[in-house]
Structure 1
């Protein structure tokens, strides 16, 4: 059985940096995020690592693990939201005591998704793939991003529905800030490899494929054990987003996960929009999508609202989900059971 945390009113947000911290030159955006959330119903407990960045990480692995351990076992902390992702979160896994983790939400994406997936696979506790803390600093929040509070406030046994965004951001324009951070200029369209409307159901698992594929073959990536122990071998509906891998790198990672048994009982795969997927000769990321759809005989949905091309819906690792596409629009209903 999956264990679901619940976001309560007047929640205390713990902020730690299990991967990268924020360089001093960017401290203003972290302070702005803290101030913005403090003006809402939240209290924030910001520890040391979010303010530090050196050697591609916020601090040595043991220090990062200790801070995370402190927050996740603290009775006063209700939810943990790192400032953003990074590169080397995988270093802290061996230093964590997953058996001591309290049932509380961890929210984020990018390198944070490696922690999210490892926690759900290891403990059966649901985790939330969605916005980072620094992306909540705007005076306004777009409707898609804002859905994180509604999703994380869903009671056990209830369902919550999200819809594809109307517009997405093609490129960052940090020199031209908006009230809601993102520049949502491009029409959103969820697509499928068969160019047909799709409806697919399964237990959600996934994250940033650049990082999470490294869990395959480790004690923190045992999908078979998770399936047998926590979801009674229900089919898995995977979601991935590609930060900066080429098409060939993406393909290698997909094959690695397939050979590790991650797709042995899969109902479908979703891919987020990506700025990456660099073409190798004439091999594209869309060829990767078609290859895996053909090999597994499953529907593949792509360009969904997930990952480094915002905005993004909030996807719950472990939740039962039904995803539908209709003429380029997307709908995802998650049930906490």
Structure 2
């Protein structure tokens, strides 16, 4: 993998909304998190495709591609962040100049949701390590839970280095309304628990597995699997001695669509070289507790796998989120009820 340089004080972060932009009522929140980036010691480069949102995007696709390419090819830029996700970042992928990007210095691409669509493309096509993490609009300095507060700390890790995260004790049920309260923080009040789905694969007690991380929002990744933009096989070819750890989270799919998405990946051989699978908290709760809900979808689709499938993981539209580096060699382990994720940038 090609790991970008560590983010340190003085590093430049470019901000552009290559998926959904930020409408006017949310500009106070955007201004707050941009200011907080500067307070963290970063130089902030604000793009033009950012402060509007029409038809799910910040600007026409040509403008979004041009701005993203400009930042990607600028050696003064160390990281690129979008304010948050969206719906159709997929429209950028065939328009990016991948040949021009081949010799470019890798930058940290950061975020989750629809941002993960772009993260996987860069990891698959260029071998860049990319960062699935809390989105910029949630990364205020006032957010002090360990997973969120340490996001940039982990990105100070040098190539060859290691960082460790532990499962969060609580999660947020619902979403903050930044239009009403631009200074809102997470309400982490619900007890969080990672669980082993398939006990026949691993009995209760210590659990441990290792592999290269790859994944993102299931809503887009189940559609991209098998294309050049989400190609786990490319990661295996770069690291033939390792297996893969997939991570997925459901953003908007109904329980039956959720089931079909996971079953489709399984039928297409996605998990043939998996060491384990991490499933984030389900963001769709309308059917919770019904006969066919999100938990049922995961059990029916993945319950027969022989590798550990862990549910309730801190990777989701339901905060908080771990920092997961696509391509990093990860170790997942459980001792009693405490889960630990160690990532090696090598």
TM-score tier (shorter): over 0.9
Q: Distance in 1 between matches of 2:314 and 2:234?
A: 29
User: Given the alignment of the two structures, is residue 86 of structure 1 paired with residue 86 of structure 2, yes or no?
Assistant: yes
2:283 to 275, 287, 297: 275
Task: For structure 2, list consecutive stretches of 5 or more residues without a partner in the other structure.
Answer: none
Does structure 2 conserve the Cα–Cα contact (< 8 Å) formed by 1:190 and 1:325?
A: no
After superposition, the Cα gap between the structure-2 partners of 1:326 and 1:278, relative to the gap in structure 1 and judged at 3 Å, is farther
Q: Which residue matches 2:8?
A: 8
Does structure 2 conserve the Cα–Cα contact (< 8 Å) formed by 1:245 and 1:277?
A: no
Q: Which residue matches 1:133?
A: 136
After superposition, the Cα gap between the structure-2 partners of 1:325 and 1:44, relative to the gap in structure 1 and judged at 3 Å, is same
Deviations along 1:103-149, one digit per CA (max 9) or x if unpaired, are: 11011000000100111011111000001111112434321112211
User: Given the alignment of the two structures, is residue 119 of structure 1 paired with residue 122 of structure 2, yes or no?
Assistant: yes
Q: Distance in 1 between matches of 2:296 and 2:335?
A: 22
Does structure 2 conserve the Cα–Cα contact (< 8 Å) formed by 1:272 and 1:304?
A: yes
1:65-104 residue pairs with structure 2 within 5 A? 65-99=65-99, 100=101, 101-104=104-107
1:1-337 residue pairs with structure 2 within 5 A? 2-5=1-4, 6-99=6-99, 100=101, 101-174=104-177, 181-193=185-197, 194=199, 196-197=204-205, 198-228=207-237, 230-232=238-240, 234-276=242-284, 279=287, 282-337=291-346
Q: Distance in 2 between matches of 1:134 and 1:119?
A: 22
Q: Distance in 2 between matches of 1:325 and 1:67?
A: 43
Larger displacement relative to structure 2 (281-290 or 241-250): 281-290
Q: Distance in 2 between matches of 1:42 and 1:304?
A: 30
Q: Distance in 2 between matches of 1:118 and 1:260?
A: 19
**Secondary structure, in 3 states, of the residue corresponding to 1:203?**
strand
TM-score under structure 1 length normalisation: 0.93
Q: Distance in 2 between matches of 1:108 and 1:97?
A: 21
Q: Distance in 1 between matches of 2:333 and 2:286?
A: 28
Does structure 1 conserve the Cα–Cα contact (< 8 Å) formed by 2:176 and 2:185?
A: no
Q: Distance in 2 between matches of 1:85 and 1:173?
A: 15
Q: Distance in 2 between matches of 1:196 and 1:70?
A: 50
Larger displacement relative to structure 2 (135-144 or 62-71): 135-144
Larger displacement relative to structure 2 (80-89 or 93-102): 93-102
Tell me the CA shift for residue 178 of structure 1.
9.4
Task: For structure 1, list consecutive stretches of 5 or more residues without a partner in the other structure.
Answer: none
TM-score under structure 2 length normalisation: 0.91
**Secondary structure, in 3 states, of the residue corresponding to 1:149?**
helix
Tell me the CA shift for residue 227 of structure 1.
1.6
Count how many residue pairs are aligned between Structure 1 and Structure 2. Answer: 335
**Secondary structure, in 3 states, of the residue corresponding to 1:117?**
helix
Larger displacement relative to structure 2 (138-147 or 303-312): 138-147
Tell me the CA shift for residue 279 of structure 1.
4.1
Does structure 2 conserve the Cα–Cα contact (< 8 Å) formed by 1:224 and 1:261?
A: no
Q: CA RMSD in A?
A: 2.0
